[in-house]
Structure 1
């Protein structure tokens, strides 16, 4: 029986584990992939305090993990398939094994949402990607497209402009919601980056590999073909909540609803990071969520012992 089970070893989960362990709580930390979460899918973070010149995603991830060295955090590599039980006796099932915890901290994050187009799944790894840092080098000197309007899309378009011969940035609206600083850099890279406003992708072309896109103007409905070798999709996120109890309250998009102390509607279950229903999803906000959730869980554990 652990004091806390933390599901997910991204910024929120690592920070929560750190704070709980320093409060003398026994912690079990689950991660189904390489620890670090979406930090590992980011080339460089330029807005993380303390690193005014920026820091590589993998470097920040390594620093986060190093902070757990010597602490009483048991780390398990595996996928949590279900969460059951109640406060004081939760059970997380993974790979046929049951792990018990008095509290549960959900830091599972979110995955990139796909476009929902025919052939999209078939062409993943054959021209369609959701991670420029992971796959961008395969398209060195070629023509690629990025679809999306937030910071992720703008950041990756800039990153790809250093690798690809030509980058098309496709957005369904006439303005971007991403940071102004990224837009200014994209404008300066107009020789490499072409921005297509008021445009959506209506179909993907290619059998064994992506060869092009059909683009549609959202106002006129006019369609045209665009030949590309690669497509990078950044159109939002889908929360990773499959393993969680059905009665855990979520918002209309499936993200977990919490109060300001990261408490969910189920006593003893806390949520932190990108899995939460909130406005800003950044490394620093995930870390703050993790610290708050850990403190709230510690207070909850103290009350259980009364």
Structure 2
């Protein structure tokens, strides 16, 4: 059995929320430990270009941004531990985290484990990830200006992505396996207006059968009718999968309050906004945010969580 390592503050997750929390916590001399999780750098490591990070006029890649964030955190002596936590015990103090490589305890915990976009699970979808297949129109839509794209899904996320892309792309094809949408009525009204008078095309009772492409990236999709099984091909440049996100919170089931799988935090403007249902446990980024899901909002929440954790540790 490996020895237990104790820290005042552990930050679980290494995306924008985790590393920003680390920078602020380290500057407050809390000597934070970042445990990276199974995907060091988080979702941004799968994004080719980041064009909306303030101050980076020329844009940069997702992996480059995350490397810089890690270096920034390490500059202030943040300790980075490459491990995947599989068990969390938050009912007693100090909090205990058990990973593949060791056991860790801490006086305060910031959870920044993020959320994972849900995909269809096709091999062709995975093969063209970052080369025409994306799960974030706000992140990657710009690269398809005046090109043809499709969005797969029928909920709020899919309709919002389609409406966003309609202002950028030449044509947007919404592919939905049923004959009606699950999204809010107001979003449907906007979409139907775009379909009638704009550049949105609706494909009902249709599934994505295959992503088509070559060495340069996506060249089209093969669609399949759920009614008769017939297939058709559609030439296009971008495929946006919008069938929802799953917050990485399984670890905390039965211990922390959640809403639809996302961690509940205090919110408000009185301070301590990032505290979860357990005192001393804070959450930042996509793990507690199903609305905005941007690198910049995650980073801001990471800053808030570090300040909240600093105050908690000062008071205890």
How does the TM-score come out when normalised to structure 1? 0.74
Secondary structure at 2:250 match in 1: coil
Superposition pairs for residues 53-132 of structure 1, below 5 Å? 53-86=58-91, 88-95=93-100, 97-115=102-120, 121=121, 123=122, 126-129=123-126, 132=129
CA distance in 2, matches of 1:149, 1:69: 29
Question: Do the aligned partners of 2:108 and 2:313 also contact (CA within 8 Å) in 1?
Answer: yes
CA distance in 2, matches of 1:52, 1:182: 22
Does 2:232 align with 1:226?
A: yes
Unaligned 5+ segments in structure 2 are: 1-5, 174-198, 212-220, 268-272
Match of 1:248 in 2: 256
| TM-score in terms of structure 2 length | 0.72
Q: Which runs of 5+ in 1 are unaligned?
A: 116-120, 137-145
Q: Indicate the SS of the match to 1:301.
A: helix
**Cα 1:272–1:172, aligned 2, differ >3 Å: closer, same or farther?**
same
Asked whether 1:184 is paired with 2:184, we answer no
- Could you report, residue by residue, the CA deviation over 1:71-99 in whole angstroms, capped at 9, with x for unpaired residues? 23221111101111447500110016210
Does structure 1 residue 301 correspond to structure 2 residue 313?
yes
Check whether the contact 2:114–2:286 (CA below 8 A) recurs between aligned residues.
Answer: yes
Distance 1:57 1:103 in 2: 29
SS at match of 1:286: helix
C-alpha distance in 2 between matches for 1:290 and 1:149: 21
SS, match of residue 108 in structure 2: strand
Partner of 2:281: 269
> Counterparts of 1:78 and 1:50 in 2: how far apart (Å)?
32
1:231/1:55 CA distance change after superposition, 3 Å? closer
Q: CA RMSD in A?
A: 3.7
Q: CA deviation at 1:14?
A: 0.4
Report the Cα offset of residue 46 of structure 1.
2.3
Number of aligned residue pairs: give it. 270
2:24 counterpart SS class: helix
| Deviation, structure 1 residue 16 | 0.6
CA shift digits 1:121-141 (9 cap, x unpaired):
4x3xx31339731x55xxxxx
C-alpha displacement at 1:213, in angstroms? 3.3
- Of 138, 149, 152, which residue of structure 2 is paired with 1:151? 138
Taking the aligned partners of 1:31 and 1:128, their CA distance within structure 2 comes to 26
Tell me by how many angstroms 1:239 deviates: 0.6
Q: How many angstroms does 1:41 deviate by?
A: 1.5
**Deviation per CA, 1:161-211, whole angstroms, max 9, x where unpaired?**
6xxxx7544454899424977433312899xxx9542535447479xxxx9
1:9-28 matched pairs, under 5 angstroms: 9-28=14-33
User: Greater CA deviation, 95-104 or 16-25?
Assistant: 95-104
Quote the Cα distance in structure 2 between the aligned partners of 1:30 and 1:297: 17
